[in-house]
A and B are shown apart, each in its own frame.
Chain A
Amino acid sequence: AQSVSQHNHHVILSEAASLELGCNYSYGGTVNLFWYVQYPGQHLQLLLKYFSGDPLVKGIKGFEAEFIKSKFSFNLRKPSVQWSDTAEYFCAVNAYSSNTGKLIFGQGTTLQVKP
């Protein structure tokens, strides 16, 4: 069965610090990978996604993620965080062989950015 593991449950940073959130998945086949963000009181929204091609993908608000197939990882990065990045971040995977499009999520990482 597919599973997703996010290493950091709660991260506290000061503004302008760099961010890296870890995500590893377990599935041997081709996958599609996603990072979603949930700002306080808001719906889950897509930050970025990887389907194929360049393993370094860029998303909204200056976020990027790198797919490393050999490590089954899809870590999220941002060079300089802002107070407005305070939110919960979820990594998710979809098995390409699945024709239902279902997503399996990690447990989430709460990011708190101090002004």
Chain B
Amino acid sequence: ETGVTQTPRHLVMGMTNKKSLKCEQHLGHNAMYWYKQSAKKPLELMFVYSLEERVENNSVPSRFSPECPNSSHLFLHLHTLQPEDSALYLCASSKPGQGITEAFFGQGTRLTVV
């Protein structure tokens, strides 16, 4: 248990579906992140939220839409995905700027797009 909880753990969706991934942390962290983990590739940073404001978007297609309603919750809204979007999506949180701490990761959502 890392203190970062992701739901659902597994998700299968069609290319025309709309779904959302949820991430929750109660560690008092003020930064949250979405990463994509695909086979044979480095973890790709998708989005960074700092103090609930999106501060980084790494050229992620618009079919991925993040939302951070408060410092404890982070969502990733998905619509009209492609099969190549199948991957493990990881959420992480940290508390940078105060003696930079390491990032704590959730267990991920295994997404399969059919």
Contacts and interface: CB of A to CB of B under 8 A. Distances in A.
> Which residue, of A32, A102, A106, has the highest number of chain B Cβ atoms within 10 A?
A102
Contacts of B92: 44, 103
Given A4-B42, A90-B43, A108-B42, A101 B100 contact: yes
Interface stretch (A45-53, A65-73, A78-86): A45-53
B41 A44 contact: no
Contacts of B56: 100, 102
Contacts of A103: 33, 45, 92, 103
Interface residues of A, number: 25
A45 B4 CA distance: 12
A106 B43 CA distance: 7
A99 B41 contact: no
B17 interface: no
Given A43-B2, A44-B90, A101 B103 contact: yes
Interface class of chain B by DSSP: loop
Interface in A28-71: 32, 34, 36, 42-46, 49, 51
User: Do most interface residues of chain A lie in helix, strand or loop, or is the interface mixed?
Assistant: loop
B102 A105 contact: no
Contacts of B101: 101
B31 A100 contact: yes
A13 interface: no
Contacts of A108: 42-43
Given A101-B96, A103-B45, 16 more contacts: A32-B100, A34-B102, A43-B2, A44-B90, A44-B105, A45-B105, A49-B102, A94-B100, A99-B50, A100-B56, A100-B96, A101-B50, A102-B45, A105-B35, A105-B43, A108-B42
10 contacts: A42-B107, A43-B107, A43-B108, A90-B43, A96-B100, A102-B33, A102-B45, A103-B45, A104-B45, A107-B42
